[in-house]
Amino acid sequence: MENFGIESLVCCSWYTQVLGLVNPKSFNEWYAKDISKKRRIVNKLKGSAGEPLSPPPYGYKKDPDDPKRWIVDEEAAAVVRRIFRMAMDGYGIAETAIALQKDGILTPLYYWRSKGLNRGGKKSDKDPTHWNHSTIYKVLTLQEYCGDVINFKTFSKAYMNYGNTIKAY
């Protein structure tokens, strides 16, 4: 096909979309929406294949040979086993928290810090062995301790939906 000395602008599909946009703000919004859509697709594929999308919970760590796998962190797993054992023996959440605190066991946040891992959580100056009831409860109710990989607990409907997530269960 003869182009009469005019270069074709149909080389890239995104370029033709950009030509219709008027201002840079519109382009930036379109670009952010496009990237967000691609990230969601990739995360959906990874999660559906059984790859964990979140960091491992307390008691697990990433496998150094394959970072897509979790392996048992024996030092922290002993604490998790103790929490479950105490629950099976009839101890309450408060009693378990007090026992762990008396024995000087680091909370998950301070344990990760001692290992050089930067994990989420409130950065407070509390006693590193002060266990909250909510931490014990979370350990006892987390499905991952049954050996399951849980993905897609929450999701966001839009790329500009800051902090508004919806629980999927």
Tens digits of residue pLDDT in 57-76: 888 888 889 888 888 889 99
Name the pTM for this structure: 0.64
Per DSSP, 116 falls in state T
Q: Pull the structure tokens for residue 169.
A: 């269960």
- Measured CA to CA, the distance from residue 131 to residue 128 in angstroms comes to 8
Secondary structure letter of residue 71 according to DSSP: E
The domain ranges of the chain are: 13-51, 60-146
Over pLDDT 90: what percentage of the chain? 20
Model confidence at 9: pLDDT above 50: no
Which residue has better confidence, 99 or 129?
99
